[in-house]
Amino acid sequence: MRQTWHQYFLTLAKHVSTRATCDRLHAGCVIVKDKRIVSTGYNGSLPGADHCDDVGHLIMNGHCIATEHAERNAVANAARAGVSTLGSTAYVTHSPCWDCIKHLAAAGVKEIIYSEEYKNAEATYPPNIDRILDQAGVKLRMIED
């Protein structure tokens, strides 16, 4: 059976996550505009820095801080290439943290679609997240791939 566009891009996000360099979670993000991929990102170390998978994790407050999140890497990759993310949709393997939601919204992403709940993501959300996202014109929703 042919996949829907949402399923297709979520499948690609999952494939992008196979490049992740922190084995605590392999996350991927695909940013799409007009059914065209404009950028991808996965959670990994800064360019040129050692990878967690190779040298171990840098843990602070129970989180590995050596890696950048997939969503922010996708936005950074678009910026490096001079590609606009204005009016785009981000397909993410896991529910994004609040910082990533804000980063995507600030980059002009209008919809964030994810396929799996991440255990700690909602703990980062403000109590009035629905109102804030509505004011920003951003939709956040889960679609199982």
How far is the C-alpha of 135 from the C-alpha of 67, rounded, in Å?
30
Would you name the residues annotated as active-site residues? 71
**H or E stretch including 130?**
helix 129-136
